Amino acid sequence: MRGAQIDPKAITYTLPENIPWQKGTTSDSANLQGDPSKPGLYIQLIKWRPGNMSRPHSHSTARYITVLSGTWWVGTGSVYDPNRTVPMKAGSFVIDQPNELHYDGAKDQECVLYLVGIGPVVTTQAAR
């Protein structure tokens, strides 16, 4: 028996196997809605690979993040020190405040983040 049909005028959806993942060097990302480089709401999935972290940086606008799976490790300040990061386990909610230095990523396991923001957002690396 075939399932019911969804009216695309009422609901649009993307099944997990059809999410448009973009491969990166340390993490993968998928834009579910909008584009962070353009004005308006954007929603992304970020998949950090184990053993990969960003270096200190800031974003020009707030970003609202929910950890969907794994443990995401976050630290603050201009000095990169993975040993001074704090674990954010699945279900945690985090706000990256605008123009404040932080770094983040995965340690021993992959983590997947659900990220919402208003674009355009500019990411600035901390001075070394």
The per-residue pLDDT for range 52-80, each reduced to its tens digit, is 999 999 999 999 999 999 999 999 999 99
Domain assignment present for 11: no
Checking if the pLDDT of 118 tops 80, the result is yes
| Rounded distance between C-alpha atoms, residue 29 and residue 27, angstroms | 7
Domains held by the chain: number: 1
**Six-digit token string for 33:** 């809605």
Output the pTM of the full model. 0.92
* CATH code for the domain of 103: 2.60.120.10
Instruction: Count other C-beta atoms under 10 Å from residue 124's C-beta.
Output: 12
Q: Note whether 69 and 90 are within 8 A (CB).
A: yes
Q: Note whether 45 and 53 are within 8 A (CB).
A: no
Domain assignment present for 12: no
Specify the pLDDT at position 12.
94
Domain assignment present for 107: yes
Contacts (Cβ under 8 Å, ≥6 apart) of 113: 45, 46, 47, 48, 65, 66, 67, 68, 72
Where residue 45 falls among pLDDT bands split at 50, 70, 90? Answer: very high
Average pLDDT, the chain: 96
Query: Which residues span the domain enclosing 77?
Result: 22-125
**Six-digit token string for 73:** 């490790």
